[in-house]
Structure 1
Amino acid sequence: MLTSQRKKSILDALKRDGQVLAKPLSEAFGVSEDTIRRDLRELAAQGKLQRVHGGALPSSPAVANLAGRRAIGTDAKAAIGRAAAQMIAPGQIVFVDGGTTAIQLARHLPAGLRATIVTHSPNVAVELAEHEELEVIVIGGRLFRHSMVTVGAAAIEALGHIRADLYFMGVTGVHAEAGLSTGDLEEAYVKRALVARAAETIVLASSEKLNAASAYMIAGIDAASTIIVEKSTPDAAIAPFEPFGVTIVRA
């Protein structure tokens, strides 16, 4: 079998099974585990999978830059953002993450809502500028242009002084084994700090993020109380999260 054919078969198995392991693949193809590991390294370098110990998981397309992510699942993200906005009650203090789905949340907040929104996303803050009843707190730090959010020690220090009722988390991967993940280490640290300072974490997860993984783990699935998915999400796609006691909301 040619290398290109073997790689295609690996990707087909990954799509079918949700994960692949190096040893069974080496036995199936009659090649060494080193050969399979090389295949996995090369496929990972092309962004086609996420390597883990012993094998690989699907890679999330949501690690693309902000401009690229705006074109992915726009209707679904609007529906998820609308459902998330309806969960905010008057008087609450709410963390809102960065990203394209979080922007949809901001756009769907009721005009007269009186609450406090804390965000490390300049784009989310701008979306809320016309909401005169909202108190908007912008967390400073180094601007991470890929996601248009602030990261670093200054951001984490500022978050340490706030206790929030809700945290609406954006992720690039939601996987039963790999947990909640993102494509940047510093961004993962900030998200972890947000989880620690919120009474409840709600994950915004359009379909391309489900059962996919990125390089940097934020927390396990059980850190989320709720995951909001699009209405058409197949039952099989959310079944792996049920043992964690997470509430699934279809938007």
Structure 2
Amino acid sequence: MLKEERHHLILDLLNNEGKLIATELSSRLNVSEDTIRRDLRELDGMGVLHRVHGGALLKGASTVKFEEKFNQAPEAKTHIAEVGLKLIRNDQVIIIDGGTTTLTFAQQLPFDLKATVITNSPPVAVALSHHPNIEVVMLGGRLFKESLVNTGIATIQALEDIRADIYFMGTHSVHPQTGISIPDQEEAFIKRKMVNISAETVVLAEAHKLGTASTYVAAHVNEISYLVTESCVSSNVLIEYEKLGITVLQ
């Protein structure tokens, strides 16, 4: 079998099965484990899969500009936001981080909600500026223009003395084994800190983000309280998260 044929077959198997184990793949394709590891390394370098220890996972969607991403699947984002609102109560301290789904969530918050919202996302802060009973705490730092969030040591330090009731997290990839992961390391540090200071963490994720992985882990699955996703996701996919103690809402 030519290398190109093998690469196509590996990608077909990954798309159908969601993950690949190198030792099993070696037997299935009747080639050495060294050959499989080299194939996975090359395919990872091409950006078409995410290589992990012992195998490979589906790669999260390619990064696009915030404005373009915001206009993708607006109905799905709105439905996810509406479900997430069921977890909100008056007088909570709420963290909402950056992302187009979390921005949609912020835009859906009831106008009469009384709460404190802490965010490192300028678009989220602006969206809440006209809510009369929401106190908005804007975290400073260096603006990461790709995601429109503030990051860096100043953001971490601002979170040190905060204890939140609930954290609504936007993400790039969600996987039952690797957890929550994103392409940027500094943003991952911020998310990890937000998880650590929050009583509950809610991940808002569209269907295409499930079962994928990215470069930097922001949270492990056992740190997630709720996963809110689209109603189209099958129970066979979601049961893997529910087995880990995560409450899944659709």
So what's the TM-score if we normalise by structure 2? 0.94
Query: CA offsets, 1:106-140, max 9 Å, x none?
Result: 11011121111100001111111121221111101
Q: Is the 8 A contact 1:62 1:69 kept in 2?
A: no
CA distance in 1, matches of 2:38, 2:72: 30
**What secondary structure, in the 3-state scheme, does the structure 2 residue paired with 1:245 have?**
coil
Aligned to 2:164: 164
Partner of 1:140: 140
Answer with 68-77 or 161-170: which moved more: 68-77
- Aligned pairs, how many? 250
What is the CA distance between 1:200 and its match in structure 2?
Answer: 0.7
Match of 2:112 in 1: 112
> What is the CA–CA distance in structure 2 between the aligned matches of 1:229 and 1:41, rounded to whole Å?
31
State the identity %.
43
Once residues 197 and 63 of structure 1 are traced to their aligned partners in structure 2, the CA distance between those partners, rounded to angstroms, is 28
- Map 1:5-24 to 2 at 5 A: 5-24=5-24
Q: Which residue of 2 is the match for residue 231 of structure 1?
A: 231
Q: Name the aligned partner's letter for residue 210 of structure 1.
A: L
CA distance in structure 1 between the partners assigned to 2:3 and 2:65 by the alignment: 30
Deviates more, 1:150-159 or 1:35-44: 35-44
Instruction: Tell me how far 1:56 sits from its aligned partner.
Output: 0.5
Letter in 1 for 2:161: H
Residue 219 of structure 2 is aligned to residue 219 of structure 1? yes
Kindly state the Cα deviation for residue 208 of structure 1 after the two structures are TM-superposed. 1.1
| Residue 207 of structure 1: aligned partner | 207
Shift of the 65–137 alpha-carbon distance from structure 1 to 2, 3 Å rule, reads same
Name 1:98's counterpart in structure 2. 98
Give the 4+ runs in structure 1 shifted more than 4 A: none
Deviation at 1:73, TM superposition (A): 2.8
Report how far residue 184 of structure 1 moved. Answer: 1.1
TM-score (norm. length: structure 1): 0.94
- Following the alignment from structure 1 to structure 2, what is the Cα–Cα distance between the partners of residues 108 and 59? 30
Q: Residue 71 of structure 1: CA displacement? A: 4.3
Unaligned runs of 5+ in 1: none
Shift of 1:243: 1.6
Counterpart position of 2:154: 154
Q: CA RMSD in A?
A: 1.6
Q: CA deviation at 1:68?
A: 4.3
SS at match of 2:114: coil
| CA distance in 1 between partners of 2:189 and 2:92 (Å) | 24
Structure 1 residues 136 and 211: alpha-carbon distance in aligned structure 2, compared to 1, 3 A threshold: same
For the pair 1:129 / 2:129, whether they are aligned, the reply is yes
Match of 1:82 in 2: 82
Aligned partners of 2:41, 2:75: CA distance in 1, in Å? 34
Corresponding residue number in structure 2 for 1:73? 73
CA contact (8 A) 1:173 1:213 kept: yes
Distance 1:130 1:62, change over 3 A: farther
Shift of 1:77: 1.1
Question: How far off its partner does 1:62 sit?
Answer: 5.9
Deviations 1:66-116 (CA, angstroms, capped at 9, x unpaired): 244334432111111122234221111100010010011011011121111
In structure 2, what is the equivalent of residue 57 of structure 1?
Answer: 57
